[in-house]
Chain A
């Protein structure tokens, strides 16, 4: 490798550009090739040589080393020279078959009028791949090459992206926790009014059959009055556990007021079954509840309406009807369960 690209008598001599001293092209374009008129490599830039460390590139035909992928060219130096100044997409023929961008300029003709060429190559977008396959350093690139800046940016942006991903994950976690909190009754852990409204609206929207039960504790005020609010809270928590125990996983149990609860039973319209649940709830809640040395006694009154009572069920109407049925239960002396009686039935 004699650096034939340079020197006063070199092929680049003459014309408007003064001749370059020897080795100049190695600095300006460390990935260049000088080809003779037969298309054989007479010189390869230092970085290009690093891609094939065990091999001597000089003396080998360009077409044996590289495959021109685009544009498709017939074999031979003449076809290559025709592409002077245009962008070529190359690939090394042996492994690793790194993709390269290239541009070619013809050299001044020799005495016989035959032309060689200088081909400058670059990794282009496959630089990431190239860095995996070859051991390259900053000084393997021309000082003006933007490759290093591109690598810097890629790496910096990836780090920033990771930070954003972390932040998003944390925010997502916080959002789920906040939503759960927004839909939970903090004293009992049951769903709250807002959550119940959502579930009820969803059932109606989906057109699913369901039962809506409004439940109110009996004698709860007496517990509060005689044993204090701490006892009252304890009873509410106890009741909440009992309601969850006595219902199915798909049912919704919500505390919507002080001692008021709404239970939603999807796909349940059988009155006998609902009546059975109601009687079980009364039996369960009437068991004395211990708070310290105090014995607290409550029961419950319930009113239920069914989605099948309505041509087009509405949340507010169903809640009001269940409440009316609950009121009827209270009037019957408490610890009772009533179904709402639609007008057609009431007649």
Chain B
């Protein structure tokens, strides 16, 4: 698994539950070091061990944990850069949803070896969308729900999100866009790079 993904989980655990918990997770997961490097790659088993350790220590189901990671990635002040990159996708939340198909390509454009599962959005009418996440990263759909929810806040849209389960490795998410402009949302200046 790419270091960026491992590092995201690590930062989520540290920023949310403290360095003590992260140290316990690292020990329990038998991590080779004390921290992941964002730009290196690691064997997949390591990621699963970290998630198992966090689940056990926090007594939280995997789905909830991953959704929290997703929310953290977009809404925590430390990740302003990622939020901005996602906002480049479009002017409104619907634009953003339609840009999800391009997300794996966009990710690869930025970081050549960052592979995320293929995404396919289909519009069902009445503001209802179905998003299918391809195989390769079990639980990615749950993290994505966190991202989608946080991005809805960011755009000021009101949405209802449901994970419809997983079949043959393909996870399905239902998105109901209740209101496009429920709140003001957050500012997005094209030129306000955070560095």
Complex Cα–Cα for A138 and B87 (A): 10
Pick the contact of A152 from B40, B88, B111 — CB < 8 Å?
Answer: B88
Taking CB atoms, residues of chain A closer than 8 Å to B57 are none
Give 19 A-B pairs besides A148-B190, A151-B88, A155-B88 with Cβ atoms closer than 8 angstroms: A132-B191, A135-B189, A137-B188, A138-B88, A138-B90, A138-B188, A138-B190, A152-B85, A152-B88, A152-B106, A158-B193, A158-B195, A159-B81, A159-B85, A160-B39, A163-B38, A164-B39, A166-B38, A167-B38
| A131 to B90 CA separation, bound complex (whole angstroms) | 17
A137-168: which have CB < 8 Å to B?
137-139, 148-149, 151-153, 155-160, 162-164, 166-167
> Does A128 belong to the interface (CB within 8 Å)?
yes
In the complex, which residues of chain B have a beta carbon less than 8 angstroms from the beta carbon of A136?
190-191
- Chain A's interface: helix, strand, loop or mixed, by majority? helix
* Nearest chain A CB to B120 CB, angstrom units: 21
- Mark B residues whose CB is within 8 Å of A: 37-40, 81, 84-85, 88, 90-91, 106, 109-111, 188-191, 193, 195
Distance of A131 Cα from B192 Cα, bound (Å): 8
Give Cα distance in the complex from A167 to B193, angstroms: 22
Q: A138-B190, A158-B193 are in contact. Are A153 and B39 (CB under 8 A)?
A: no
Is B109 touching A153 in the complex (CB atoms < 8 A)? yes
Asked if B81 contacts A155 (CB within 8 A), the reply is yes
Q: Known interface pairs A139-B91, A163-B38, A167-B39. Does A153 touch B190 (Cβ–Cβ under 8 Å)?
A: no
What is the distance, in angstroms, from A310's C-beta to the closest C-beta of chain B? 49
Please give me the residue from chain A that is nearest to B38 by CB atom.
A163
The total of chain A residues at the interface (CB under 8 A) is 26
What are the residues of chain A within 8 A of B109 when measuring CB–CB? 153, 156
In the docked arrangement, what's the CA distance between A239 and B189, Å? 66
> Footprint of B on A, CB under 8 Å?
128, 130-132, 135-139, 148-149, 151-153, 155-160, 162-164, 166-167, 170
A130 to B191, CA, bound (A): 8
Tell me which of A130, A131, A163 contacts B39 (CB under 8 A): A163
Q: How far is the CB of B94 from chain A (nearest CB, A)?
A: 13
Complex Cα gap A172–B84 (Å): 31
Known: A156-B110, A160-B111. A137 touches B85 (CB 8 A): no
Interchain CB contact (< 8 A) of A138 among B39, B91, B106: B91
CB distance from B74 to the nearest CB of A (A): 15
By a CB distance below 8 angstroms, the chain A residues around B193 are 155, 158
Q: What residues of B have a CB within 8 angstroms of the CB of A137 in the complex?
A: 91, 188-190
